[in-house]
Amino acid sequence: MDGYKRSLEYIQDYINIHGLRIWQKQVSSIINENVNKEISLRKGISLYGPSIGFMRCLARQIAQLIDARLSVYITSALRGSI
């Protein structure tokens, strides 16, 4: 996925597109779609069951990629404007 993001950033100036905005919208769309699928599958099923859903896998991957000792959470003043 990082390769696709870098490619969009690289070509955005040449073909006059907003590559980062496209990237963010698509990733957001993928996450929202998978969350909605997970919600529809879990209706009536305990959220604490043994199944591993999309969001749990995503959270696990993010936790593996960051170092909590070096990371800082900063809220965005532009939330919802993209």
In a domain, 9, yes or no: yes
8-26: pLDDT as tens digits: 777 777 777 777 788 788 8
Q: Is-above-0.85 flag for pTM?
A: no
Domain count, the chain: 1
22-52: pLDDT as tens digits: 878 888 998 888 888 887 777 765 555 555 6
C-alpha neighbours within 13 Å on the C-beta side of residue 64: 6
In a domain, 77, yes or no: no
List alpha helices for 16-53, DSSP H. 19-42
**Residue 62 pLDDT level (bands cut at 50, 70, 90):** confident
Task: Give me the domain span that covers residue 54.
Answer: 2-65
Q: How remote is the C-alpha of 16 from its chain's centroid?
A: 25
Which DSSP state fits 3?
Answer: H
pLDDT of residue 66: 84
In a domain, 44, yes or no: yes
d(CA 33, CA 25): 12
